[in-house]
Amino acid sequence: MATPEASSAPLIEKHTIGYVPPEDRHGKVRDLFTLWFGGNIAPLPIVTGALGVQLFHLNLLWGIVAILVGHLVGGVLMALHSAQGPQMGIPQMIQSRAQFGSLGALLVVLIAGVMYIGFFASNIVLAGKSLHGVVDSVPVPVGIVIGAVGSGIIGIIGYRFIHVLNRIGTWVLGIGIVVGFGYIFTHIQTDDFLTRGSFNLSGWLATVSLAALWQIAFAPYVSDYSRYLPADVKVSSTFWTTYLGSALGSSLAFIFGAVAVLATPVGMDTMDAVKLATGAIGPLMLVLFLLSVISHNALNLYGAVLSLITLVQTFAYRWIPTAKSRAVISIIVLLACCFAAVGASKDFIGHFVDMVLVLLVVLVPWTAINLIDFYAIHKGQYDIQSIFQVDGGIYGRYNPQALLAYAIGIAVQIPFMNTPLYVGPVSAHINGADLSWLVGLLVTSPLYFWLANRDTSYRRRMMGGKLASSL
């Protein structure tokens, strides 16, 4: 259980990628619901959810069904990662060394860092546009800087402050989006609100994939926000609070985007459609979304910085990163993203979505390997000390079985891909639907389980981890 000292934990987080000892554990499992519910009611998921009707031409009914299916399926994987946090007490990315080895994990850590830097940059662009929409006299570049600085302050303060803000945001944004739905449904400005679009299998599958991938994109850092919880928290409690918060918050935001664009004339930018569709309360909605994107974006900065620290610590293994180190790296990332976002093209967010779809091709097999290793092979028991050793300790520098399964998991997705860089033959045959993530999961999971159980040396390391899992 958390000690009195833990319950009065300092506001500014002192840990980075290191193990969180029992005396520093704090918080309630219900905090995970508010973190992922409040954090997902934001402009980027609203814009992404609108694609089901804008880009894939579904009608409202089938768009909602696709959104719900995608989030409910993808949320399972995301929440299973979250449940690892209290048991491990370390960030998700450094934990990957136990599956891939100290050097073998570098590629996945790098990809996760790049993806979350991309998320951060995209969100500050949306923050700049939202602020400009609220106050015309504030240019978008100035709004970008303001949004970045706000997120930077939250990210530097760290874990506890992020949770506090999202507890508040859950109530404010939850009430706000319900009021927004009510206004839109009573002030519909189009005659084809229910009839625009239709069911088409490729568009439906594509929308399901977008929703599922939205959830899977959180996998590399979701347990970073549960690792401070007491170790005796039930796995099922961690899973369900994360799952319900993320699936519900994301679904509401996705559906809100679809409803807003259907309630306004064809061809409008999604956030412009939100402002028009919500009429008299439009400015208030934009203010709420602006505050939301600043708060939520702190998670992306926080996750990116932990990934970068993990990369550096792999080689500078004697380095003990502190809160000061995290602050310095946060400022560097923030400045670089501001520079990129201010000079970005108008279609920056579209290019970002394209990038995420490419990166998720290589993150999906990692998800499968991590979950199989944690739940089916090691059953949550790892040697924490080995994870921080330069040679990987009992896990070594490389795990050939994991790397082989990972490579095959990427390769089998290629025919099913639909990205700006490449469209696979199967995807082309089904009118562009991207099912690569599903194929990657279905192939990688049993393959890695089989390979790991055939390797006798790996089983010995597994037993070693069980014997030395506590510090």
Burial class from Cβ neighbours inside 10 Å (0-12, 13-18, 19+) for residue 267 reads: exposed
**DSSP of 57-125:** ---HHHHHHHHHHHHHHHHHHHHHHHTTHHHH-S-HHHHTHHHH-TTTTHHHHHHHHHHHHHHHHHHHH
Q: Cα–Cα distance between 255 and 214 in angstroms, integer?
A: 14
* DSSP category for residue 378: S
Under the banding of pLDDT at 50, 70 and 90, the label for residue 469 is: very low
399-429 b/e (C-beta count within 10 Å ≥ 16 → b): bebbbebbebbbebbbbbbbbeeeebebbee
Tokens of 420: 């700006």
Check residue 461 and give its pLDDT.
53
The upper half-sphere exposure of residue 316, i.e. CA atoms within 13 Å in the direction of its Cβ, equals 9
Query: Which CATH architecture is the domain 4-347 placed in?
Result: Orthogonal Bundle (1.10)
Is the CB of residue 4 less than 8 Å from the CB of residue 153?
no
Task: Decide if pLDDT at 445 tops 70.
Answer: yes
Under the banding of pLDDT at 50, 70 and 90, the label for residue 442 is: very high
Question: 3-state DSSP call for residue 423?
Answer: strand
Residue percentage of the chain with pLDDT more than 90 = 27
Q: How many residues does the chain have?
A: 471
Residue given tokens 């293994």 in the structure block: 317
Is the CB of residue 130 less than 8 Å from the CB of residue 423?
no
Check residue 419 and give its pLDDT.
73
322-334 b/e (C-beta count within 10 Å ≥ 16 → b): ebebbbebbeebb
Mean pLDDT of 25-35: 86
Lowest-confidence region among 276-290, 382-396, 457-471: 457-471
Mean pLDDT of 333-355: 72
Q: Cα–Cα distance between 181 and 190 in angstroms, integer?
A: 15
Residue percentage of the chain with pLDDT more than 70 = 89
pLDDT in tens, 36-61: 998 888 888 898 899 999 988 899 99
Check residue 470 and give its pLDDT.
43
- CA 430 and chain centroid, separation: 28
Check residue 241 and give its pLDDT.
95
Q: Which amino acid is at 184?
A: I
pLDDT in tens, 114-133: 888 888 888 888 788 778 87
User: What is the residue extent of each domain of the chain?
Assistant: 4-347
Check residue 263 and give its pLDDT.
92
Check residue 113 and give its pLDDT.
85
pLDDT in tens, 189-210: 888 898 898 998 888 988 998 8
Task: Decide if pLDDT at 286 tops 70.
Answer: yes
Is the CB of residue 329 less than 8 Å from the CB of residue 39?
no
pLDDT in tens, 136-153: 888 888 888 888 888 888
Task: Decide if pLDDT at 428 tops 60.
Answer: yes
Check residue 10 and give its pLDDT.
59
